Every structure is written in structure tokens, then in C-alpha cells.
Amino acid sequence: MLTIEQKKARKLGIGGSDAAAICGVSKFRTPLQVYLDKISDVEEEEEYNPVFERGHLLEGIIRLAFEKRMNMNVRVCNATITPAAFDEYFMLSNVDGIITKQYKENCFVDDAIFEAKTSNIWTKDFYLGEIPNDYFVQVQHYMHSRALNMSYIAVLSSDQRYFDFVCRLLNICNIDDVAEAIKEDIEIHEVPRDDVFIKDMIEVQKNFWNNHVLKRIPPDPVNVSDMNILFPKDIKNKSVVASQAVIDLCMQRLMFSKKTKVFQKEIDPIDKG
């Protein structure tokens, strides 16, 4: 879960979940919603989302179960990382963990991205082993930012009763025992780096950041909710003071409208004749 400092920092760039939304594959947000979040100076309180809350509560136990299942070491990393390229400074990376491998005695190096997910078995987010597009974009974003070539997504799929049961176990049992008990329940998906996709993704993000966020130009709406945000309904008994530019345009239209009526009076007799 992001800290207050990380929430403030993410307004300075594009994170992994932002990348999915900007690429148009997020189930939760549109490019316009990401844009409005980036240009806002106010840190709005996040609405309660049971899916996000469940993921936060179970992230640690999924990570530990993954370590036991795969015999790998996962380092929790709270730092925000950006790519080395100067013109990609806005690409931010906050991952669930970094899988490390031993280089030599007492020396470990970063080897892969680790992401923990929960999935409702009835929605089949990971149907037939395919990962959702938004998760694919997310880990490709992270691999580019961290200069790594592999990601592992560990997924705990079940229904709400099972998730509630695991959470209750964590309150009364040792976390290692719970992780040992559920390690065979998690699905593990390996996602290799895709440089062809990453190249296109970077261009999409550059366009979004440089031509929309920095220039304060909203991206095109993609659904009805976006349309309502950009073009809200009239509010009764509320007036807006027009700028001088708008007044000048209105005066020009009025003048042209009068001239049109005069010309039409001259045209009508000709047409009748």
C-alpha cells in the first residue's frame, strides 16, 4: 500500500496502474481520470474499494507463500524508481517486491519483478492462464523502469469466503504456518519482458505526459462518465462571467446574423421573380 509521501510523489509521474489506464486497458480508470488526478493539487481520499482492500491485506501472505513455493527471495521495496533515460523521468515504479538472487556470498542482485494479486474465481480474471491486459502493461512498465527482464505475478484466486477465512487465520495463527498452508493455492505466472510492446508503451506515455499533463490539455473522453466530467449539465440559478474573447465572438455572430437577414430580404424577391 502506498504511503502518503508516495501518493504525493505519484502526481509527479506515471505509475504502473496509471500506465494501464493510459493505454486504455484498465478496468478501473480512463486516461481522462488519470489526467485529472495528475493536474490536481488536492490529494483526494481514495474511496473504499473491497478489492483493493483485500489485495492490501493479503499481499504479505501471498509474497511469503510465493517464497516458500518457489524457493525464491523477495525483497520488499518502498522506493520510487524511474528509468535511466532523461526523457522518461515521469515513468515511476512502486512494486510489490523485487526477486533477488545470490551473486556471491552475502551479495544479492535484483533479478525479477514480483507482483501479488487476488482474483475472484467467478470473474476468471486469469482465465486459462492468460493474465489480464492491465496487469501485463503494469509489469512491462515496471520491468522497463527497473531494467529487469522477468516478472512473476502470484495470484490467490477464490471466493470472498476463502479470502475472509485466510484473513481470520492471520489474526490467530503464525504467518509462516498460514503461508505454508496456502502456498499450493496460489497461481504463478511468469511474464517476460516485451521490448516491442515497451517501445510503443513509452511513446503513448510520453504523448500523455508531454502533450496533455504538462500542457493542461485533457485527453479525449472514452465513455459516458468522461463526457459528463468534461461537459457537465447546466446548474440552475448559476451564472458564469464570459471572457472578453467570448463576448467579442458573440458580438460578431450577432452582426453576421443581422447582415444575413438583410441579404435574405433582397434574395427573396429575386427567388419569387
Express each pLDDT in 192-219 by its tens digit: 999 999 999 999 999 999 999 999 999 9
Q: Model pTM?
A: 0.76
Mean pLDDT over 165-194 rounds to 86
Is residue 47 pLDDT above 70, yes or no?
no
Is residue 6 pLDDT above 70, yes or no?
no
Is residue 56 pLDDT above 90, yes or no?
no
b/e sequence 54-68, b meaning 16+ C-beta within 10 Å: bbeebbbbbbbbbbe
Query: How confident is the prediction for the chain on average, in pLDDT?
Result: 83
C-alpha to C-alpha distance for 83 and 93, rounded to whole angstroms = 9
Question: Minimal CA–CA distance to 163: which of 185, 184, 180?
Answer: 185
pLDDT for 162: 75
Percent of the chain residues past pLDDT 70, beyond the cut: 82
pLDDT for 147: 92
pLDDT band at 101 (very low <50, low <70, confident <90, very high): confident
pLDDT for 142: 95
Question: Is there a contact between 154 and 62 (Cβ–Cβ < 8 Å)?
Answer: yes
11 vs 216, residue with greater confidence: 216
pLDDT for 1: 53
Is residue 155 pLDDT above 80, yes or no?
yes
Mean pLDDT over 92-116 rounds to 85
C-alpha to C-alpha distance for 56 and 49, rounded to whole angstroms = 11
3-state helix, strand, coil in the chain (%, to 5): 50, 15, 30
pLDDT for 199: 95
Max Cα separation, the chain?
A: 104
Among the residue ranges 38-42, 60-64, 183-187, the one predicted with the least confidence is 38-42
pLDDT for 193: 96
Question: Is there a contact between 59 and 94 (Cβ–Cβ < 8 Å)?
Answer: no
